[in-house]
A and B are shown apart, each in its own frame.
Chain A
Amino acid sequence: MPRFHGQSNHAPVDIVNQLQKQYVDYLSSLFHEGVLDDQFTQLQKLQDESNPDFTVEVATLFFVDSDKLINNMAAALERSPVDFKQVDADVHQLKGSSSSIGAMRVKNLCITFRSFCETQSYEGCLICLQQVKNECAVLKDKLQNLFRMEQQIVGAGGSVPLMD
């Protein structure tokens, strides 16, 4: 059952409820699909009056970080000979970031990616890199939707429901 926190406002309750229901459904689907995991909820819990945009900030940080890392990896894989250790280090960073933010699919891909780095399989790394890129793009897209919905709710005077 979703819990509510924050202040309530004066907009019509139906609209707020509807928006909230939409938000909850969307977020649930993200969990269900495995895009996000429990860690994301933890991050959401940290958001409070003193830190109202915590989640957004962290997500932004993640995307900047991941873009940089992906570019590094692509560059490293184009060089020859390929420095697998460097790629591995980058993947490790990405894995850490994604697990901190709760991006489960990205994290799992990173685990697979790392094993390819260990076995120094060039084709495997390339495939994984492409996958990671795609997945990050998907995640970015979905999180942007999510944050937009949050803003709508707050704009309508409601409060963002937290998942259990």
Chain B
Amino acid sequence: MESCNCVEPQWPADELLMKYQYLSDFFIALAYFSIPLELIYFVKKSAVFPYRWVLVQFGAFIVLCGATHLINLWTFAIHSRTVAYVMTIAKVLTAAVSCITALMLVHIIPDLLSVKTRELFLKNKAAELDREMGLIRTQEETGRHCALWMPTRSGLELQLSYTLRQQQNPVGYTVPIHLPVINRVFSSNRALKISPNSPVARIRPLAGKYIPGEVVAVRVPLLHLSNFQINDWPELSTKRYALMVLMLPSDSARQWHVHELELVEVVADQVAVALSHAAILEESMRARDLLMEQNVALDLARREAETAIRARNDFLAVMNHEMRTPMHAIIALSSLLQETELTPEQRLMVETIMKSSNLLATLINDVLDLSRLEDGSFQLNIATFNLHAVFREVLNLIKPVASVKKLLITLNLAPDLPEYAVGDEKRLMQVILNVVGNAVKFSKEGGISITAFVAKAEYLREARPPEFIPVPSDNHFYLRVQVRDSGSGINPQDIPKLFTKFAHNQSLATRNSGGSGLGLAICKRFVTLMDGHIWIESEGIGKGCTATFIVGLGIPEKLNESKFPVLPRGSSNHVLANFSGLKVLVMDDNGVGRAATKGLLLHLGCDVTTVSSGDELLHAVSQEHKVVLMDICTPGIDSYEVAVQIHRLYSQHHERPLLVAITGSTDKVTKENCMRVGMDGVIQKPVSLDKMRNVLSELLECGHQMSSLARV
């Protein structure tokens, strides 16, 4: 044996047993080393771990144990003394650490165990609290309550209108209003505690275990719109109140405190405002619905009225025509009859027939006019006309009647009255004629004086009635006509009725004169349409009367239509007197008319050629002819077509002869047609020498520009 200083194993080496021990030791060591690693790993992962020292100790203990077993591996075989020493040290250390750990654990383990119990305890407690909360809540719900009682329409009962939870109580539950407790609450503006047993508080049937909490009631004034002043708080001037009831939860020890009562009062006021707002809103919604319905109804009525008016107009138009035709036959034949030989009796009869039929014709015209006037579909025919001529014509028309009655008619036209004016000539004449006619009708003797002048501003201010103040301007003036008669006069009381249609003045004078009563009404309408006013003054029966009217008329410009370019006229008096050598072509299919026109032109010195048809005209016309006069009344010859042809032949203006139409019609349509085909002028029959002279001189001065000469 060598002296190797080695240590021999305790017992003899048994191969199998040793092998097993060897392996086990190895695995133990492995496990012992890995456990602390795992511990460290997981502890690092976890957020909180209060026992670090314990962990270190434990870790050390395990590591050392592992080391011991590891070193043990070497002791199965022969090993050196060093190994033995290491082994020993390791074992010693392990022993030490294990003992310390064991001692430490004694303190720690109870702690650990107690944490667990505390946790369990807390969990239990939390569950218990939850349960309790649930209970309390249900208690609260069943116990606390708020209700609003509104007075019914009759005012004798209070009806449960609003509650916190609708489905619990049948709404419509009522209590009589004159309970003492309710009166007590209504008579004070404070919140009062009331007994929970009073009918207003007992909303639910009490479940046995609940002791009702305290109840407070406060009155809520129902405000009307008028209660709201802008600056003040609404005054409690109304007698109607609602009742707001607040109940504390049952089983609650809470009491109503003073500040809480004040709060309740404030809330009650707010509730009052809210209620009135709701009422107002409801009211306005209802009003709006009503208005919409009314609108629809009005619309329908309007449409029906329009349909009715249209139907009436159609009817009137048809009836008008139907009525006028036989009327015309009667008038025409009676006038023819008058021309024949008749016995005096027969003549009288025929005259009566004529008068009656004239009256009837006038009535028909009046009715149609008035109905058109009334529904506003009437329009004036505005044109330029000779104002002086209108008065002269009225005078001519009325002179025969006046002279029969031996009345003296005087006409005074103011010197500054313009000769031409723009307006509706026919209707103006109708008005003047009506007024003058009335004057003549109601006068048995004496005279009628007609004065016409331009109304100045001073006159206008004095004019009665004072609310009518027309303002003349640059392009129109106001014509004032006054008709004074010395006839039977009118009772001042009857004056307002004069202009009412169909109202008859039952004085002696009217019984013989007849008349539909429409005349003055129509005059008034016309005058109003002409932007004027008409009135009658009389001092009484037998003192005559004065009829005055003012109408607005336009002032014609130099040229009658503004559409046409304003022609510079050197002097309006400068008229060519001699057209010697002027070549004129005249077309007229009527032999006599041709001769007359030719004579006229010859007298003026023209060189006249005449043709009797459109074709002849087109053949005869040449550049030498300066003027072509065409009679466009001839049926069968389309003079307009001829004019168009001439235009085509002479495309350049300065070569084309001037085209003038001679027509017997006065309506606008003819004039428009002439303009349309390019006529340079229009003359109206009957043609006088002066007229022809004026027309020709104007045309020749102004060249190829259309001047409207219809009324020259």
Which residues in A have some Cβ–Cβ distance to B below 8 Å?
38-39, 42-43, 45-46, 48, 50-51, 54, 57-58, 61-62, 65, 89, 92-93, 96-101, 112, 115-116, 119, 121, 124, 127-128, 131
Contact = CB atoms under 8 A, between A and B. Distances in A.
B592 A119 contact: no
Contact of B595 (A50, A61, A89, A92): A61
B325 A58 contact: no
Contacts of A100: 590, 592-593, 595-597, 686
A39 B595 contact: no
B590 A128 contact: no
B635 A45 contact: no
Interface in B261-288: none
A146 B599 CA distance: 20
B335 interface: yes
Interface in B310-354: 325, 328-329, 332-333, 335-336, 339
B591 interface: yes
22 contacts: A39-B686, A39-B688, A42-B600, A42-B686, A42-B687, A46-B600, A54-B599, A61-B595, A62-B592, A89-B635, A96-B593, A96-B631, A96-B633, A96-B664, A99-B686, A100-B593, A100-B595, A112-B335, A115-B328, A115-B332, A119-B329, A127-B336
Nearest to B328: A115
A15 B72 CA distance: 196
B104 interface: no
B303 interface: no
Given A61-B591, A65-B592, A119-B329, A45 B336 contact: no
A16 to B, nearest CB: 26
B591 A97 contact: yes
Interface of B: 325, 328-329, 332-333, 335-336, 339, 589-593, 595-597, 599-600, 602-603, 631, 633, 635-636, 664, 685-689
A116 B332 CA distance: 9
Given A39-B596, A42-B687, A112-B332, 5 more contacts: A38-B688, A61-B591, A97-B592, A99-B685, A100-B597
A58 B595 contact: yes
Contacts of B329: 115, 119, 121, 124
Given A89-B636, A96-B590, A57 B333 contact: no
Contacts, number: 84
A143 to B, nearest CB: 13
Nearest to B596: A100
A112 B688 contact: no
B595 A57 contact: yes
A45 B595 contact: no
A113 to B, nearest CB: 9
Contacts of B339: 131
A48 B333 contact: no
Contacts of A38: 686, 688
A62 B339 CA distance: 23
B596 A43 contact: yes
B333 A51 contact: no
A-B pairs, top 4 by smallest CB distance, nearest first, are A97-B592, A100-B596, A96-B590, A46-B603
Nearest to B331: A112
A60 B631 CA distance: 22
A42 B689 CA distance: 7
A58 B590 CA distance: 12
A89 to B, nearest CB: 6
Contacts of A101: 592, 596
Contact of A119 (B325, B589, B599, B631): B325
Contacts of A46: 599-600, 602-603, 689
A99 B332 contact: no
